[in-house]
Structure 1
């Protein structure tokens, strides 16, 4: 039976909380959420309040009655999680809401249930409304002969070791040693290389084929874009799809691919045809005319020394696009690797309280969190782009880590009560960010090796996970021996 004194005590706490948060009529909804002071109002420069409200309306997340954790409030908390990655969700709420004296904050379980009610759809819809390529043609390093540089690549993320995540995403195989320690998701991203903006991405279980996933990103490509692809993603059908969309393609392919010269060009490259299958090559049917660039490296210190590298493109004019210029351009594709480094190493790194790369225990929470992190990355990169533009700099010239720390430090100072004060805050943030310069990129190499290969400890097996609670306390398990 419940203790009556405890019931009365809890009722008093609830009544006091409701007294501080009086409910308005269910027929009326406030124009803005209950956000007494908005330290995250600085994000409105990138993610506008009307975008948030329209995304909630479009996905049916409209509160039928007034409450503290409205859909708009919890969506803002989820967005804050993408920036305040080192804080647990209850502290994110406190930081975002900037509580008034005497105001209580919801418990962790209430916030987690509110996240579950919100779901993935509003965050996905908001991502589609807000995220876009940023660079105009005059942005340094973002275009090649009027073509916007885009890249596609994938990354694998560890997710918390819960039964739901393991069932939804699967575990990687460690061969005879068993399954991997954590469930994993694969994220395939389309990135604007000049600004590091993650324009679109697809999330799949860890055993899915990345090459089959690329089709979900092609609809974001179109005329005026040049897509740089690694050899794992090239295919005849994908080339045809990109041709239909009006995008140009520049890809690395395997050395064993049959590319017979049709015409040798003045710069050492040559024209050849790519076919769907060997029989089509035999009949010279439905071939795609491409330009082939083969080269090797004569520096013994460089990775790939002595190997033959093969690039193909539909930029066929050797006078307008010299082979050496294209060889150097292809290395812009590695800017996408820096995007993954920014997100995994600097924006949301591993730490003692977060052994996996994400923190959500449910599959829907994982996808929601990935969208929140990508939106947070877009906010940082948007401000960095504006800061670089004010100084006429290449966005790569600014330090992501330095600008990220500046944003987190300056957000609580944002005063959005008056347009003049907000403008002063915004200009101050941009000025401070443009002073965070990176060192010039050095002429260096990074061998593909790791420092620690194996551990002396035994491999974790399925029988070691989610052990049942102990039946005995420690003193009860002690047996004295004579």
Structure 2
């Protein structure tokens, strides 16, 4: 059986252990053993556009002669489907947990900030096969006319920003919220991490739970979140406290009761939550044609010392959260294929396939990180994901005994095939300059397809006097509105 460098990352001994722990190991001899089934499912994710017969033929082509002499024949599609059902999703989930990790790279500026490992979590939707069973198990998006599109599963991953390796992952139904899935991967957080998150993940409960893991946090928060200024720091950031929504609810009910009784409102609620440091920044992006876009970012962090973590550096570090989006693109576009749903029409097989995709992605990122180590402090982002994927596909027929030497050659080759020029300061670098369609698009633009962009970041310092005056004015208005009118 082949497997190539994929078998180096997922060794047969670990596969047998996962099968034994989950009770999926076969007690009698079969022409399709469970170990072969595991590598077959992984190969299905590696060759997402190939048929069952083509994938199994690639997997055993290195030993086709010996297997044919022993009377073994290529199995039918029905036999391979039954093999997948016998395996289930449990062995692949266990394999992913055993193989997941942070990074195999050195401590470098592109992987760490302020002495902390940069990690981020984010969510995405994965299209499942359009079957009644998947629709009932996972759910699907809705529109004005009812259900729409394929059934989808919500996936949340915790990823290392430098290496883009997945530290942990959780997925559920389409209706499962990202915050609920993030709570499942909280045990993966540890001291020495700096967790980046978008504003959709912020909640008082999740913030406190993540802070309890002793990992540092740098999250974007909503613009209307009440964060009173307690002390302005020299770099323009300020200290504040989070407010427990339960306390706010009780205070609102108390204020309503006093208003109904004609009494004066209670004093403003003093926040009793954890202390946070707030950074407000305005980022302006200008392109070659003179177009400018401005965005306001409001960040909350547990790094309270401005000397070790200046506000401008914190705002710039938040941009590395985009590693999650890049990882999703590599999984859903370069590995699975554009606009392609998972194969399995059965929910259990669909979960199995999703875990397998995460394992194969981990294997490719592992190869990229090992190739980066062959260079002198080489950043893994400079090595092409598609080049590593193609190298794994080409080596699928190699047996595990000679795969180690072949893997070493792949590492050296990938370290030489670098992205010669970064395009992080350009807009739409891959946009087609000449469309293939004869009719103009409704969203056609006269702007150049790709332009250089410059970024300007400015820290907004809060005005304490104006903030206090506005707060006192709002308090006086509420008090006047609740006073009883004279007869």
Shorter-chain TM-score above 0.5:
yes
1:316 aligns with 2:304: yes
Counterpart for residue 194 of structure 2: 226
1:394 aligns with 2:390: no
Q: Does the CA contact (< 8 Å) of 1:140 and 1:394 recur in 2?
A: no
1:362 aligns with 2:326: no
Cα distance in 1 between the residues matched to 2:399 and 2:130? 41
Shift of 1:402: 1.6
1:100 aligns with 2:85: no
Shift of 1:131: 1.6
Counterpart for residue 156 of structure 1: 125
Cα distance in 2 between the residues matched to 1:307 and 1:258? 20
C-alpha change, 1:422 and 1:241, in structure 2 (3 Å) is same
1:57 aligns with 2:39: no
Greater relative CO (CA pairs within 8 A, separation 6+): 2
Q: Does the CA contact (< 8 Å) of 2:284 and 2:295 recur in 1?
A: no
Cα distance in 2 between the residues matched to 1:299 and 1:331? 13
Counterpart for residue 135 of structure 2: 166
Shift of 1:283: 4.2
Cα distance in 2 between the residues matched to 1:259 and 1:303? 33
Q: 2:278 aligns with which of 262, 285, 292?
A: 292
Q: 1:254 aligns with which of 222, 225, 230?
A: 222
Give secondary structure in 2 for the equivalent of 1:153: strand
Q: Does the CA contact (< 8 Å) of 1:82 and 1:374 recur in 2?
A: no
Counterpart for residue 344 of structure 1: 332
Counterpart for residue 120 of structure 1: 89
Q: Does the CA contact (< 8 Å) of 2:12 and 2:35 recur in 1?
A: no
C-alpha change, 1:95 and 1:66, in structure 2 (3 Å) is same
Counterpart for residue 201 of structure 1: 169
Please give the root-mean-square deviation of Cα atoms over the aligned residues, in Å: 2.4
Q: Number of aligned pairs?
A: 406
C-alpha change, 1:282 and 1:222, in structure 2 (3 Å) is farther
Q: 2:146 aligns with which of 178, 190, 195?
A: 178
Q: Does the CA contact (< 8 Å) of 2:59 and 2:396 recur in 1?
A: no
**TM-score, structure 1 length as denominator?**
0.79
Q: Does the CA contact (< 8 Å) of 2:219 and 2:299 recur in 1?
A: yes
C-alpha change, 1:293 and 1:391, in structure 2 (3 Å) is same
Counterpart for residue 81 of structure 1: 44
Q: 1:437 aligns with which of 409, 412, 418?
A: 418
Cα distance in 1 between the residues matched to 2:218 and 2:26? 48
Cα distance in 2 between the residues matched to 1:376 and 1:162? 25
C-alpha change, 1:396 and 1:65, in structure 2 (3 Å) is same
Counterpart for residue 102 of structure 2: 133
Q: Does the CA contact (< 8 Å) of 2:281 and 2:298 recur in 1?
A: yes
Q: Superposed, which structure 2 residues align to 1:471-482 within 5 Å?
A: none
Larger proportion of strand? 2
Cα distance in 1 between the residues matched to 2:270 and 2:319? 33
Cα distance in 1 between the residues matched to 2:138 and 2:292? 34
Q: Does the CA contact (< 8 Å) of 1:403 and 1:436 recur in 2?
A: no
Q: Can you list the C-alpha shifts for 1:354-394, whole angstroms capped at 9, x where unaligned?
A: x6421111111111111111110111000100001110201
Q: Can you list the C-alpha shifts for 1:292-327, whole angstroms capped at 9, x where unaligned?
A: 111113446599934421011011111111111111
Shift of 1:446: 5.4
Q: Does the CA contact (< 8 Å) of 1:303 and 1:445 recur in 2?
A: no
Cα distance in 2 between the residues matched to 1:416 and 1:169? 37
Q: Can you list the C-alpha shifts for 1:458-481, whole angstroms capped at 9, x where unaligned?
A: xxxxxxxxxxxxxxxxxxxxxxxx
C-alpha change, 1:205 and 1:293, in structure 2 (3 Å) is same
Cα distance in 2 between the residues matched to 1:313 and 1:113? 50
Counterpart for residue 25 of structure 1: none
1:72 aligns with 2:35: yes
Q: Can you list the C-alpha shifts for 1:391-448, whole angstroms capped at 9, x where unaligned?
A: 0201111111122112212343x3544xxx544312211111112222312413459x
Cα distance in 1 between the residues matched to 2:364 and 2:109? 19
Cα distance in 2 between the residues matched to 1:148 and 1:388? 18
Cα distance in 2 between the residues matched to 1:288 and 1:305? 34
Shift of 1:46: 1.3
Unaligned runs of 5+ in 1: 1-34, 455-482
Give secondary structure in 1 for the equivalent of 2:370: helix
C-alpha change, 1:426 and 1:298, in structure 2 (3 Å) is closer
